[in-house]
Amino acid sequence: MYAVLIEVDVAGVDQEQGLAMLRGHIVPAVQQLSGFKSGTWLPGNEAGLGLSLTLWESEADAWGMIAQFGPESDSPVAASVRRCEVREVAATA
């Protein structure tokens, strides 16, 4: 299993509109991608940085998610991706 950690800058995004986009469009789209296992999305903190951590069946599935929503994607998301990592999962609880 592999994890994708994405950090986004949401400082310039209206919080209500951003959460509506996240819940209504982004999460459902991510759930439809091949190999999706689970995901957690955290809203922006005091510095305007939001996080997502998604789990995938394979490394290829994880990279497929990045192709759709990572820094080089054509995703219509208003937030800008600051950091994106793929890592093998060592343990879950």
Instruction: Specify the CATH number for the domain of residue 41.
Output: 3.30.70.100
24 in a structural domain: yes
Residue 93 lies in a domain: no
> What is the pTM (predicted TM-score) of this model?
0.89
Asked if the structure places residue 8 within a domain, the reply is: yes
- Element of type H or E holding 83: strand 80-88
In the chain, the number of structural domains is: 1
In this structure, how many other beta carbons lie within 10 angstroms of the beta carbon of residue 10?
21
* pLDDT (0 to 100) of residue 80: 85
Phi, psi angle pair for 55, to nearest 5°: -115, 140
The predicted-structure confidence for 78-89, as pLDDT tens digits, reads as follows 578 899 999 999
- Which domain range does residue 51 map to? 2-88
Asked if the structure places residue 79 within a domain, the reply is: yes
Cα pseudo-dihedral 35, 3, 74, 8, rounded to 10:
150
Query: Does residue 9 lie in a domain region?
Result: yes
